[in-house]
Amino acid sequence: MKAHRDICVGCGACINLCPRLAIRFIDGKSFIDQQSCIECGTCRDACGVDALQADCRFPDLLLLNSYSNPFEGEAPAGDQESPVKDSPE
Amino acid sequence: MKTMYDFVIIGAGPAGLMIARELAAAKQRVLLVDIKKDIEKVSRSCCTMLINEPNTHGETVRVVDNNLHFEKTGLTVKYTGRFVKMIKSSRMSPGGHKLTMVNRKEGVALPYTKEVILKNLLDEAVANGAEVVTQTAGIRAENVDGGVRVLLRHARSRKVYEVRCRIAFAADGVNSQIVNGLELFKTRKYFGSFRVASYFLDNVDYPYWDSWITCVGKGHTRYDRGQVYMVPKYLPDAAEGDKPILDVFCGTPFGMPAQKGLDSFLREGPFRDWFRNAKIVHKAACALNFYTCIMNPVEGNIVVVGDAAAFIETYCQSAMMYGYRAARASLKVLETGTGYDDYTNFWRESFEYCWPGEIEKALQGFGLGQLSDEALDYIFSLTDGEEYEGYVSENTAPDVMKKAIMSHIDQMRRERPEIAAVIEKHWKASAEDIVQA
């Protein structure tokens, strides 16, 4: 999704709705972090002034290949060091 | 920003600012955070009217020396802006017929400028020594040993901070993020989601500067659903002699275009002539999730205040009053170990939506818009020219409307029995029926 900052009135309705915490609030207007956004459209449904519009970064249809497993051959989850670490703070 | 405070307040609206002002005045270490950069700037749609009806939310608020005076609480809030005296409140059908409530002496409500209220409260809180951090949202509060752990997120960088305090206040409004993370959130029942867009219009050729107007019916916009409201109010920088502007706002269910509805009302609605030369001076919007009230708005040492605990809204004035009561109660808790009951009992007894049947009543007033335009034109043609005593209030206006309409029910039964049947059924509808209609 993209936030059109010239349309956004800065009501903040979208910010806490984002399931990916992708929306920053910069100088009183929404700004969507493109690396975090998953184009789910939750923010668009909340926007009263239609400032949030789909950016169409993803193809309309994702073809799922259920026959191949890209993780085949990797060690089972229990043997790996946990990828989740506590923050240094 | 330090890491330990006596009190952390999330949200610097009328409730949060009032708490900060009171607690800072009591020489406590107070942190107030808000996601906005300019706390006094209002970008969320808000009617901002002084509801001057006696006993609104258990309190009577009057204007004394241009300030807001809360009679029972004994609280005065400094106001340096201007009031509009609205003496009429009308429901208007697409054909221009009206049902009008009047209070010539005191007004049906007094629109004021929220920015002035917020700025005065903020100045007082800061002067009293409260620490105010802007561009920071509260994302979670949890009770831990000896107090509350609060997670804050910077709005620009999204960096998460942790602060600790003895008591935390969730004053972050109707879509409270803090409340979402509490156990008490599970006690709430969901009704629906609405979004709102509003324009402040200057240069409007408008005949009702003394009225609150609710446009009821589907024919006001081309989108069939939603309601349009109009309220005159002054801009924050209005000088003596300036005319008020018109705040026009349109509320629709989620997924429906609020702003398109508003544009449609202004450009092609039945009253488009009023707005031919209008100029937009300010835009605002908001999203609202409707949940039932939190009956017990305290969890451990986390206190939920204002809209965050309410069904829809508490009005600015009552947000300040509940904030004041919550601040007093929590000071007592710090001193004596108990005191939350003062606040929670007052909340349950005074806030109308906590009482059984009140939500249904308010929604019935709102749900009238689901009738056909032709039926509404007919019903309001019966009440046209009549005046009923009343106020602008979600809690009492539906009753006045019901009585006004039902006083014509015999004539309706004679002339239009099908409409009479629909109306009689309407007053029996449950809240779910109305939201789903």
Strand partners, B100: B90, B387
In this complex, the residue of A10, A14, A48 whose CB is nearest that of residue B259 is A48
- Hunting for tokens 């808790």 — which residue is that? B333
B37 lies in the same domain as B121:
yes
Grade residue A46 by pLDDT with cuts at 50, 70 and 90: confident
Structural domain contains residue B128 = yes
- SS3 of A57, please? coil
Query: Under a CB-based contact definition with an 8 Å cutoff, are residues B33 and B152 in contact?
Result: yes
Please judge whether A49 and B260 are an interchain contact, meaning their C-beta atoms are less than 8 angstroms apart.
no
Give the domain-ending residue among B290, B310, B343. B290
- Please tell me the predicted confidence (pLDDT) of residue A58: 60
B362 lies in the same domain as B412:
yes
- Please tell me the predicted confidence (pLDDT) of residue B1: 76
Taking CB atoms and an 8 Å cutoff, what residues of chain A touch B285?
9, 11, 13, 47-49
B284 lies in the same domain as B205:
yes
Structural domain contains residue B76 = no
- SS3 of B346, please? helix
> Distance, in angstroms, between B36 CA and closest chain A CA?
6
Structural domain contains residue B230 = yes
Taking CB atoms and an 8 Å cutoff, what residues of chain B touch A26?
155-156
Q: Sign (positive/negative) of CA torsion B289, B295, B301, B305?
A: positive
In this complex, the residue of A10, A24, A48 whose CB is nearest that of residue B287 is A48
B313 lies in the same domain as B301:
yes
- Best of B149, B153, B172 to disrupt the A interface by mutation (most A CBs within 10 Å)? B153
Taking CB atoms and an 8 Å cutoff, what residues of chain A touch B137?
15-16, 25
Taking CB atoms and an 8 Å cutoff, what residues of chain B touch A33?
158
Please judge whether A13 and B257 are an interchain contact, meaning their C-beta atoms are less than 8 angstroms apart.
no
Residues (pLDDT < 70) of chain B are 431-432, 434-437
Structural domain contains residue B57 = no
Query: Under a CB-based contact definition with an 8 Å cutoff, are residues B206 and B274 in contact?
Result: yes
Please judge whether B45 and A48 are an interchain contact, meaning their C-beta atoms are less than 8 angstroms apart.
yes
Q: Does B45 lie at the interface with A, CB-CB under 8 angstroms?
A: yes
- Please tell me the predicted confidence (pLDDT) of residue A41: 85
Q: In whole angstroms, give the CA distance from residue B297 to residue B345.
A: 10
Nearest CA in chain B to A32: B156
Count of CB atoms situated within 10 Å of the CB of B191? 20
Q: Does B140 lie at the interface with A, CB-CB under 8 angstroms?
A: no
- A63 vs A13, which has greater pLDDT? A13
Sequence-distant contacts of B419-424: CB under 8 A, at least 24 apart: B419/B375, B419/B378, B419/B379, B422/B371, B422/B375, B423/B371, B423/B379
Give the domain-ending residue among B354, B383, B398. B354
CA of B294: how far to CAs of B19, B304, B312, B360, B432, in Å? 19, 9, 12, 17, 19
| Residue B208 belongs to domain with CATH number | 3.30.9.10
Closest to B391 in 3D by CA, of B3, B25, B27, B54: B54
B129 lies in the same domain as B199:
no
Grade residue A75 by pLDDT with cuts at 50, 70 and 90: low
Q: Does B308 lie at the interface with A, CB-CB under 8 angstroms?
A: no
Grade residue A63 by pLDDT with cuts at 50, 70 and 90: low
B369 lies in the same domain as B415:
yes
B324 lies in the same domain as B223:
no
Q: In whole angstroms, give the CA distance from residue A20 to residue B150.
A: 20
| Residue B183 belongs to domain with CATH number | 3.50.50.60
Please judge whether A21 and B153 are an interchain contact, meaning their C-beta atoms are less than 8 angstroms apart.
yes
Structural domain contains residue B83 = no
- Please tell me the predicted confidence (pLDDT) of residue B319: 97
B167, B171, B176, B179: CA torsion to nearest 10: 30
Please judge whether A9 and B285 are an interchain contact, meaning their C-beta atoms are less than 8 angstroms apart.
yes
Structural domain contains residue B54 = no
- Please tell me the predicted confidence (pLDDT) of residue A79: 55
Taking CB atoms and an 8 Å cutoff, what residues of chain A touch B46?
none
Please judge whether B258 and A48 are an interchain contact, meaning their C-beta atoms are less than 8 angstroms apart.
yes
B16 lies in the same domain as B125:
yes
In this complex, the residue of B38, B158, B285 whose CB is nearest that of residue A11 is B285
Please judge whether B260 and A50 are an interchain contact, meaning their C-beta atoms are less than 8 angstroms apart.
yes
B338 lies in the same domain as B375:
no
What's the whole-number mean pLDDT along residues A35-60?
81
- Please tell me the predicted confidence (pLDDT) of residue A84: 58
A15-54 burial string, b = 16+ CB within 10 Å, else e?
Answer: bbbbeeebbbbbebbbbbeeeebebeebbbbbbbbbbbee
- Please tell me the predicted confidence (pLDDT) of residue B86: 95
Enumerate chain A positions whose Cβ falls within 8 A of a Cβ in B. 9-17, 21, 24-28, 33, 45-50, 89
| CATH code for the part of the protein at A1-58 | 3.30.70.20
- Please tell me the predicted confidence (pLDDT) of residue A67: 63
User: Torsions phi, psi of A19, nearest 5?
Assistant: -70, -15
B31 lies in the same domain as B146:
yes
- Please tell me the predicted confidence (pLDDT) of residue A57: 66
> Distance, in angstroms, between B374 CA and closest chain A CA?
29
Give the domain-ending residue among B354, B386, B402. B354
> Distance, in angstroms, between A39 CA and closest chain B CA?
16
Please judge whether B44 and A25 are an interchain contact, meaning their C-beta atoms are less than 8 angstroms apart.
no
Q: Does B177 lie at the interface with A, CB-CB under 8 angstroms?
A: yes
For residue B253, the one-letter residue type is P
Quote the ipTM score. Answer: 0.76
Q: In whole angstroms, give the CA distance from residue B307 to residue B319.
A: 7
Q: Which domain holds residue B405?
A: 358-436
Please judge whether B35 and A89 are an interchain contact, meaning their C-beta atoms are less than 8 angstroms apart.
no
Q: In whole angstroms, give the CA distance from residue B144 to residue B70.
A: 36
> Distance, in angstroms, between A87 CA and closest chain B CA?
11
B257 lies in the same domain as B402:
no
The total domain count for chain B is: 3
> Distance, in angstroms, between B257 CA and closest chain A CA?
7
In this complex, the residue of B41, B196, B283 whose CB is nearest that of residue A28 is B41
Q: In whole angstroms, give the CA distance from residue A17 to residue A42.
A: 7
B274 lies in the same domain as B417:
no
